[in-house]
Structure 1
């Protein structure tokens, strides 16, 4: 039985065969704003990354998993980042690349699976996300999944000649009903 499986998706570790998908994603300027990327990645660098992607979250403080549909097609990625086992917290990021795969319950399934994994396996107390204030769909999704707005970072992201606010949301295990 696969631990990270939902109704229509599952999460799996990165594989060498994900190189082209990762290359396309990491070099897509449309996602650079949220990823903090400022320049393209070579296939060589991404291949090296994939060769080291098996390293333990306790060592590298990050875990990246592919979001796949039941036909095993990769839809996107979910990242746990800035893992802090001492303070029992971890950041969460999700991207579903193609708009045709959005608004079909994928995000909710991913959030549910990854929160469950983080609480039960990594023993964290809280997860947090950073969402651009203008991204109303993501804000709605995370709130629906039990995350609460705890602050707004004003003028946090500079993109296309203007500053944007970023909303910080948390989901604390003791507050989960």
Structure 2
């Protein structure tokens, strides 16, 4: 199994949009209302054109096939990562991609700590981040998802 991360390319966009429209992934990632294809393309074109400097995206490839994405969103206070592995879950691919990404953002940006926000009811993602060295900070945030409240748990990992 050859796991790699690479830049998001235009040829990835159709698959990425399919994932955004996947009901199970919507619940896990908090996509309340998926974007239309036109809205989705507009957002990614803005990123690809450099209009979203606080966002850094990478495609996750397994043996050359797109199976997920990982992202960094930078604020003045914290650097947040997000990850979607849409295929080949529970095979170690996510862990390998996560560590490739963490190494890359440490080298590229000098980031010393990253944060992840995970829904309290997303036990698979909570387990994933915990087993990969993230610790809960005690910080929780309530969001509304499809008319119901959901708690977001903040987790942190030191990269040094």
Contact 2:6 2:58 in 1 (8 A): yes
Distance 2:156 2:133 in 1: 8
Structure 2, gaps ≥5 residues long = none
The secondary structure found in structure 2 opposite 1:60 is: coil
Shift of 1:47: 2.9
Shift of 1:159: 3.4
Paired position in structure 1 for 2:80: 91
**Highest RCO, 1 vs 2 (Cα 8 Å, sep ≥ 6):** 2
- Structure 1 segment 12-161 matched on structure 2, within 5 A: 12-56=6-50, 60-70=53-63, 72-81=64-73, 83-84=74-75, 89-98=78-87, 101-153=88-140, 156-159=142-145
Shift of 1:95: 0.7
**CA 1:28–1:173: 2 relative to 1, 3 Å:** same
**CA 1:34–1:137: 2 relative to 1, 3 Å:** closer
Shift of 1:146: 1.4
The secondary structure found in structure 1 opposite 2:156 is: strand
Calculate the TM-score normalised by the size of structure 2: 0.84
Work out which of the two has the higher radius of gyration on C-alpha atoms and give 1 or 2: 1
Paired position in structure 1 for 2:159: 173
Instruction: Write out per-residue CA displacement over residues 77-109 of structure 1, whole angstroms, 9 at most, x where no aligned residue.
Output: 11111x14x65x4101111113xx100001111
Distance 1:167 1:119 in 2: 23
The secondary structure found in structure 1 opposite 2:116 is: strand
**CA 1:35–1:139: 2 relative to 1, 3 Å:** closer
Structure 1, gaps ≥5 residues long = 1-6
The secondary structure found in structure 1 opposite 2:83 is: strand
What count of residue pairs does the alignment treat as equivalent? 160
**CA 1:173–1:80: 2 relative to 1, 3 Å:** same
